[in-house]
Structure 1
């Protein structure tokens, strides 16, 4: 019997054309299994579909993220997006629109700013010099304003914002300081909204500044102008018309408009704190440059305290009217040249004469008349200061007592 291992199985045959130069000459070719071939073809097709799908998804994602991301984001953002409110109290109940910091300042400080007039007809008067603003500094009726508003007034009238209590008040003049253009008046009322004082030494150039005035009561109540702090630590010299003595005040420069109406009103920071008292008079020489001036609140507080206590401001007084002596014109000597010595002053009592040159005061070298003001501005009446003067080629030492500057 034939061996099973040597059994020849039937195979499929196909006809092969034989050519002389055919390399397959003499070889037998078997037809591939059709089922297996079909399976491989199907798998290749599925793989191609998967690859094509993944490639399409990646391409679409790239186009969406890179090409159209901005437009898609914008389309999902509200056109009128509200800013975060400063506080729950800063939302207008009618419109539900968040208020900015300036709105907040106007709301918080506005009730403390009043209209002031010296017109006997009250707020019906039209004289520009008769109307201005004031700031309530104490709840029992004390108000600070500019002196030029109430100067020589027979009747001072105050109107509270929003016509509080429905009244226009007659005010009395507590006292004033002509040099700083500050005055204190008082009305007979209680529980008034007093302003909050800030610290003017902490302000910086570029800070927002809000000037608030209430010049004509209800007609122009809460007049607000906005600007920035243009200059700090700046001083202005004001001359006493009686004695010729010059006083120096620290002021704040701002481009917020300060006109006749809000002169005497408040200059505020963004926290709703008073950092200055607006003054049209002190800023007269800056008018053409578009800069307004307020006396710094730290400077004003010292003056306000004195006016409330004494009805006036007393300043240490040296008793000299003069200028600056230049070295090239005075034999190399530079200092404060004395033109006039006020009778009865400490300088007169010390034997100082016109023509003398003060070269040293209180141990500090003097090179100009301004140095004298800087030296005595923080002194007290009665203080005795060592003084050195140059007279006709000789130096004379003496002691000068500061007296009261009687206006």
Structure 2
């Protein structure tokens, strides 16, 4: 198990509440809750710094693979040059008052990275970079221009956020396909590690594992980040929120977590889960998070929570939000979700991505297996609790 601290203040530090992350080291994909709780950040600024591991014990985190190292500097250079104009630095300021009588609120600064994903100025980054309703967001473009930004959407469970700057004609990065990645592929991380003085730092490595899961314990409760891309490209405080790209210069992930107790272990969020969000903002300027209201586990790990359970496909439901549409439609704990609208589901990231493609109020059919028998439930997706 790896203990990870999550503090506030970005690269500048700062005191604050500290949460812990436990990295569950298994080779197969682990677990993820889907839209279970309210995802508003509510002024919680502890996410303004990158999660970092303090200690490591137990079994090896990855299966070692005999992969011939080839840094292919020309490929790295070509790919990095293609996406560099789209990479931005992000600074945030939160003013936090301890009491209503505090006339000198604590100012907490954060530094991170992001990547422009639309010509209209939409920027994809981490929730722990731009979430928590910051009082001020500044975006530093590749040409040095500084623009005021605002957070349009964020999700602490996914650790993703969308920031908007005003203007047109921004250099948008091209998005790749994270659903067909293979271990051993070239991976390049770009961002602003350790502060804006190191803006547009490029590190390269390989994809060293897929479908990793990180368990996060915070004052808001326990969350899981699942199906992460593991890479040995250096991910450091500051380039969190920046892009992980492939040899073609296409974004395949968003940098999010590193393990400081073991060299060469960093994680990125697969870009596939963010594509429906990005597409919605580009098309309509808005995105409402659809809410199903289930908490479930990938099938490979379900047996750790229900001994003897062996399912051929699907995700295993462990909790149902009684306020949510899944419960009201009749889905229950211990059901196994196998399909959504006749599309097969084997991982939570697949279920979440399909849900994100829908709109609030859309009718969906969820197929579950209960006591060995398939059952269909039709429901209307709700708005995520806590959204305006």
Is 1:343 the counterpart of 2:322? The answer is yes
**C-alpha spacing 1:336/1:307, structure 2 compared with 1 (3 Å):** same
Residue in structure 1 matched with residue 202 of structure 2 by the alignment: 224
Deviation of the 1:129 alpha carbon: 6.5
User: Runs of 5+ in structure 2 lacking a partner?
Assistant: 1-71, 96-106
Please tell me whether the aligned partners of residues 319 and 347 of structure 1 are also in contact (alpha carbons under 8 angstroms).
Answer: yes
Candidates 243, 248, 252, aligned match of 1:271: 248
Distance of 1:168 and 1:401 partners within structure 2: 45
Deviation of the 1:279 alpha carbon: 1.3
Residue in structure 1 matched with residue 379 of structure 2 by the alignment: 401
Please tell me whether the aligned partners of residues 229 and 252 of structure 1 are also in contact (alpha carbons under 8 angstroms).
Answer: yes
What is the 5 A alignment of 1:61-76?
Answer: none
Paired residues, what number? Answer: 283
Q: TM-score, normalised by structure 1?
A: 0.56
Residue in structure 2 matched with residue 19 of structure 1 by the alignment: none
Deviation of the 1:158 alpha carbon: 0.6
Distance of 2:191 and 2:157 partners within structure 1: 22
Candidates 157, 166, 174, aligned match of 2:138: 157
Higher strand proportion (structure 1 or 2): 2
Please tell me whether the aligned partners of residues 292 and 326 of structure 2 are also in contact (alpha carbons under 8 angstroms).
Answer: no
Distance of 2:349 and 2:123 partners within structure 1: 30
User: Runs of 5+ in structure 1 lacking a partner?
Assistant: 1-85, 87-98, 122-126, 330-334, 364-369
Please tell me whether the aligned partners of residues 115 and 134 of structure 1 are also in contact (alpha carbons under 8 angstroms).
Answer: yes
Residue in structure 1 matched with residue 279 of structure 2 by the alignment: 305
Higher helix proportion (structure 1 or 2): 1
**C-alpha spacing 1:375/1:142, structure 2 compared with 1 (3 Å):** closer
Please tell me whether the aligned partners of residues 245 and 321 of structure 1 are also in contact (alpha carbons under 8 angstroms).
Answer: no
Please tell me whether the aligned partners of residues 94 and 109 of structure 2 are also in contact (alpha carbons under 8 angstroms).
Answer: no
Please tell me whether the aligned partners of residues 162 and 221 of structure 1 are also in contact (alpha carbons under 8 angstroms).
Answer: no
Deviation of the 1:384 alpha carbon: 3.6
Cα deviations by residue, 1:181-204 (Å, 9 ceiling, x for unpaired): 111111123332221222223433
Distance of 2:82 and 2:316 partners within structure 1: 50
Distance of 1:359 and 1:120 partners within structure 2: 42
Distance of 2:206 and 2:308 partners within structure 1: 42
Distance of 1:240 and 1:316 partners within structure 2: 22
| More divergent stretch after superposition (143-152 vs 302-311) | 302-311
Deviation of the 1:224 alpha carbon: 1.1
Residue in structure 2 matched with residue 111 of structure 1 by the alignment: 85
Residue in structure 2 matched with residue 184 of structure 1 by the alignment: 162
Distance of 1:203 and 1:147 partners within structure 2: 24
Q: CA RMSD in A?
A: 4.4
What is the 5 A alignment of 1:375-386?
Answer: 376-377=351-352, 378=354, 381-385=362-366
**C-alpha spacing 1:171/1:193, structure 2 compared with 1 (3 Å):** same
| More divergent stretch after superposition (127-136 vs 222-231) | 127-136
Residue in structure 2 matched with residue 314 of structure 1 by the alignment: 289
Cα deviations by residue, 1:328-379 (Å, 9 ceiling, x for unpaired): 79xxxxx9998765333345435677xx74368669xxxxxx9795885435
What is the 5 A alignment of 1:6-405?
Answer: 100-119=74-93, 130-152=110-132, 153-163=134-144, 167-214=145-192, 219-232=197-210, 234=211, 236=213, 249-280=226-257, 288=262, 290-306=264-280, 309=284, 311-312=286-287, 314-319=289-294, 326=306, 341-350=320-329, 357-358=334-335, 373=348, 376-377=351-352, 378=354, 381-385=362-366, 389=370, 399=377, 401=379, 403-404=381-382
**C-alpha spacing 1:160/1:405, structure 2 compared with 1 (3 Å):** same
Deviation of the 1:128 alpha carbon: 9.2
Distance of 2:219 and 2:326 partners within structure 1: 17
Deviation of the 1:132 alpha carbon: 0.6
Residue in structure 2 matched with residue 67 of structure 1 by the alignment: none
Distance of 1:295 and 1:249 partners within structure 2: 8
Distance of 1:383 and 1:320 partners within structure 2: 17
Cα deviations by residue, 1:281-321 (Å, 9 ceiling, x for unpaired): xx56x864631111122222123334564745524515468
